[in-house]
Amino acid sequence: MSGIFSKGAWLKVWTYRSTFGFGLLNTLETALAGVLLAMMIGIILGLMAASEKKILKGISRVYVELIQNTPLLLQICFLYYALAFSGNSLGIIATGMISLGIYHGAYMAEVIRAGIEAIPKGQSEAAASQGFGYIGRMYYVILPQSIKIILPPMVNQVVNLVKNTSCLYIIGGADLISLTYSFVTGATTGGAYAPAYLVSGALFFIICFPLSKLASVWENNLKKRDKKVNVAGNKERKVA
Amino acid sequence: MDTLEASFSILKNSSIWIYILKGTAFTLVISIMGIVIGVLLGSVLALVRNYCNTPKTIIFRWIATIYIEIFRNTPHLLWIFICLVFCPCPEIFSQKMLGLTSVETKLLFKAGVALVLVTSAAVAEIIRGGLNAIPEGQFEAGHSQGFHSVQIMIYIVLPQAFKKVIPTLLSQVITTIKDSSYIANVATIELMARVKKILSSANMYNGTGTINVSDVFVLFGLAAAIYFIINFSISCVVRGMQKQNKQADRAVLENINMEC
């Protein structure tokens, strides 16, 4: 652990603080675009998976299985090299945004499907009998109830997405981890391993920890409330 | 279409196949080692985080909590880089073996340590979920029968908790297999890295003298197919188990309701 207490190494990190700032900005930018894309894909495919039509279900299933069972790193490389060798490269950051969106879109779709399927079918049938169309049923009846089931795992996915921006390293990215690595191995800046890794780890922790804590607290509260409802229900049944 | 045929001609080369299959074997071995050690370490972490509540042992609970939260909230790649610099490597792993150079075995050991660190934190949270689902009455019943705490853990609580979390643990195996591809960032040992290396010299194998888009599709497509076959078969097993568990739960619930 040499270097963690060395003043020179810390000074070096402080001098090049703009590198870390730039990396953090890139990571956040990529993550934000990735989250938006993942949400869009997730909502569309999640609704498709929860629908009645077999063909829509099938498409969504195939997408989710294909994406969830192959590594993100492979998908990023695939997209990047396929674009690069066919002569229309998008640039590293844009490639990262797209592949992060595609990858986590599959997970979001599963989360949304599970949330919708947790609502009893009777709700949807009751709404239909009241004359609601598909959109009205989803918007006024199903989604408001499933949103509290959907949100905690969705926040967990956002945490994973932020962590996965580090995958940009393999295509020569400019995210926080890649810049930290080129900082510690650079010819003029090299050597300050411990402080640099500590700083970039701390930055990730500051972003991810509150989010994952929020998700777990949220989920626990939900479970507790469900338990209470169940207990109350059982009691009523016993009295009756 | 000529370039596509040229790309497929890469796969006619048997040494390429051996190279790729060896990479697949490494991926599997690394992941299995990672998950086995991860489960052992993760169980200890989960038990410590859940049950070290006395004033004497609460420090261990804090350590376990900090460990789990740190590794869950920082990227895997960061830990690989940190292990490359700071993780000491024992003598056995600093020599040639399994067709790898001594430098590569060292890298493999260090990246493997990073994989274990990250996996154990994830597994600890999964097992904790199982432990939390065990009703308090099980402990009380155990105590009333004269078991002491360790016996209750080994004979009553852990078997039930593990049974509950086995499907989730298996999906963690899928995650670990996918995560093992991170090692491609630092060394050319497992499937992902080997395919990438073949692509970078595809012009020597496909006979056209240049690297074409079709090479990307054929090579990465092959790697994706290998990963897919492995992971999809695991996820089919997971789904089968979840269905069984659900049916069992429903049967229990129906019994309870009938008794009411």
Chain B residues in contact with A1 by the CB 8 A cut-off are: 86
Confirm or reject contact between B66 and chain A (CB < 8 A). Answer: no
Handedness of CA B22, B24, B25, B26 (dihedral sign): positive
pLDDT at A103 over 50: yes
B228 touching A (Cβ < 8 Å): yes
Residue B253 has pLDDT above 70, yes or no: yes
Locate B165 and state its tokens. Answer: 């979390």
Q: How close are the terminal C-alpha atoms of chain A, in Å?
A: 68
Q: Which of A61, A103, A166, A205 to mutate to test the interface with B (most CBs of B within 10 A)?
A: A166
Tens digit of each residue's pLDDT (9 = 90 or more) over A144-186: 888 888 888 899 899 999 999 988 888 887 888 888 888 888 7
Q: Compare CB distances from A169 to B185, B196, B227 and report the shortest one's residue.
A: B185
Query: Under an 8 A CB cutoff, do A201 and B184 touch?
Result: no
pLDDT score at A9: 75
Query: Which phi-psi region, left, alpha or beta, contains residue A89 (left: φ > 0; alpha: ψ -120 to 50)?
Result: beta
pLDDT, position A233: 67
The whole-angstrom separation of Cα B130 and Cα B165 is 6
Q: B181, A73 in Cβ contact below 8 A?
A: yes
- Contact at CB, B178 and A200, closer than 8 angstroms: no
The pLDDT tens digits of the residues spanning B209-240 come to 777 778 888 888 989 999 999 999 998 988 88
Nearest chain A residue to B221 by CA: give it: A78
- Burial group, residue B90, by CB count within 10 angstroms (0-12, 13-18, 19+): exposed
List % helix, strand, coil for chain B (3-state, nearest 5). 80, 0, 15
Tell me whether residues B212 and A197 touch, CB distance under 8 A: no
- What's residue B31's pLDDT? 92
pLDDT one-digit tens code per residue, B201-214: 877 777 777 777 78
Q: How confident is the model at residue A1 (pLDDT cuts 50, 70, 90)?
A: very low
- With an 8 Å Cβ cutoff, is A85 touching chain B? yes
Q: A237: which chain B residues are within 8 Å (Cβ-Cβ)?
A: 257, 260
Question: Using one digit for the tens of pLDDT, what is the confidence trace for B14-37?
Answer: 788 888 888 899 899 999 999 999
Amino acid sitting at position B239: R
Say which range, A6-10, B22-26, B163-167, has the weakest mean pLDDT.
A6-10
Instruction: Name the residue in chain B with its Cα closest to that of A27.
Output: B75
Token duo for residue B130:
């199982």
Tell me which chain A residues have a C-beta less than 8 angstroms from the C-beta of B212. Answer: 85
Tell me the sheet residues that pair with A53. none
pLDDT at A3: 62
pLDDT at A238: 61
Judge contact between A174 and A168, C-beta under 8 A.
Answer: yes
Residues of B in contact with A80 (CB under 8 A): none
Q: What is the pLDDT of residues A178-234, one digit of tens each?
A: 888 888 887 676 677 788 888 888 988 998 999 988 888 888 888 787 777 777 766
d(CA B121, nearest CA chain A) in Å: 14
By percentage, how much of chain A surpasses pLDDT 90?
25
The mean of the pLDDT values for chain A is 85
Whether B199 shows a pLDDT value over 70: the answer reads yes
Mean pLDDT over residues A119-143, rounded? 85
Distance from CA of A81 to the nearest CA of B (A): 7
CB atoms within 10 A of CB B157: 20
Element (H, E) at B111: helix B102-132
Q: Does domain B2-259 have CATH number 1.10.3720.10?
A: yes
**Which class is domain A7-239?**
mainly alpha
Q: How far is CA B59 from CA A206, B51, B53, B109, in A?
A: 23, 12, 9, 30
The minimum CA-CA distance between B228 and chain A, rounded to whole Å, is 5
Q: Tell me, letter by letter, the H, E, C secondary structure of chain A.
A: CCCCCCHHHHHHHHHCHHHHHHHHHHHHHHHHHHHHHHHHHHHHHHHHHCCCCHHHHHHHHHHHHHHHCCCHHHHHHHHHHHHHHCCCCCCHHHHHHHHHHHHHHHHHHHHHHHHHHCCCHHHHHHHHHCCCCHHHHHHHHHHHHHHHHHHHHHHHHHHHHHHHHHHHHHHCCCCHHHHHHHHHHCCCCCCCHHHHHHHHHHHHHHHHHHHHHHHHHHHHHHHHHHHHHHHHHHHHHHHC
Q: Is A191 left (phi over 0), alpha (psi -120 to 50) or beta?
A: left
Interface contact B78-A200, CB threshold 8 A: yes
